[in-house]
Amino acid sequence: MLKFPDKFYWGTATSAYQVEGGINNDWFVAGKKYDAGLACDHYHRFEEDFDLAKNMNNNAHRFSIEWARIEPGEGKFDEKEIEHYKKVILALKQRGLEPFVTLYHWTLPIWFTEKGGWLNKDAPKYFERFVEKIVLEYRDLVKFWITLNEPNIYAPHSYLQGSWPPFKRGFGNLGNAMRQLVEAHKLAFDKIHKISPESHVGFVTDNIWYKGILKVFIDYKWNHWFLDKVKDYQDFIGLNYYFTHSIFGFLKLLHLIKVKKENKTDMGFLICPEGIYHVLKDLKKYNKPIYILENGLADAKDGKRVKFIIDHLKWTHKAIEEGVDVRGYFYWSLLDNFEWDKGFGPRFGLIAIDYEDNLRRIPRPSSRIYAEICGNNAINI
């Protein structure tokens, strides 16, 4: 049995647009492909969902606050929605779940995008104003704040490839957006600490284990550029880990080399638990606590999820043994949800959602194993 450190955080994660339903933001207006609709109706059923998390012996939960709900018009804050998220936070705390609050998880108010989105020179200040409002409201309830989710995923999709809102293309747009996101994080970090000095503030990076020649050419730009820009503006590092890439991996991705089906997720991602060890070791140089805030797979039949979780935790434990300060693990996701432009097909949840039967929640068998791990603070080997 491999024991994890005392006071280790065990949880799951969600994001507002992917689970809440009924949100009018830049994705909602972008077309049917990007419309989450009712999603899981988590907005109205959050207490039921948090009961499920509690039943899995979780002691923490990561979620996001939807900017478009809080500030639907420029400088106009919706007090009803502010009260709603207060109820969400209190519901978590009442169940012994530490809230990890994400302030920006890829979706934006429509007024913000009409001003040019992250390419507007004042965009970081608009974000700072939103952050100030939220932290003033919840400073006595929240200890962990996550400013931005995966800028190294969001910006290339939205400002280079143009596959996500606001559908911009070009390296110039990408560079400008990334610099604005750096500034937004810095302003938010300072503002949060000014209002709530005891808060812990970080952002989430999606790091890939690059092997061989790819590590030489891609690793810094993808895994470390943003981290290095904000290294003096973070109390912790939030890590999301899903991928490993090598030259052979790209050939597999292009179907030029066959991969055994059992080593892939439903979305075709290669499963490589060892990679989480390497990216954790790579982050050790920053000398910051690390929380694994997303790690999961699309697996509708739930045939690979248990092994996936246990194998990733084994490699995480190895990193901890070698001095990496990992303080929490959050599986993605608590619920099946809207997987962005991929829709509702991919099933990441420990809890299945029956979209044909009133969004009925059905705990998958893997959720029971995760509950044992969380309850024991350990994995069996």
Instruction: Give catalytic residue positions.
Output: 150
> Which residues are paired to 73 by β-bridges?
76
Interhelix angle 305-321/365-376, nearest 10 degrees: 20
**CA nearest neighbour of 46 among 90, 77, 109:** 90
Distance CA 128, CA 307 (A): 41
The end-to-end CA distance of the chain, in Å, is 6
Please give the single-letter amino acid code of residue 91: A
**CA nearest neighbour of 226 among 326, 331, 135, 156:** 156
Please give the single-letter amino acid code of residue 121: K
Q: What Å distances lie between residue 275 and 48, 230, 318, CA to CA?
A: 34, 24, 12
Burial class (CB in 10 A: 0-12, 13-18, 19+), 262: exposed
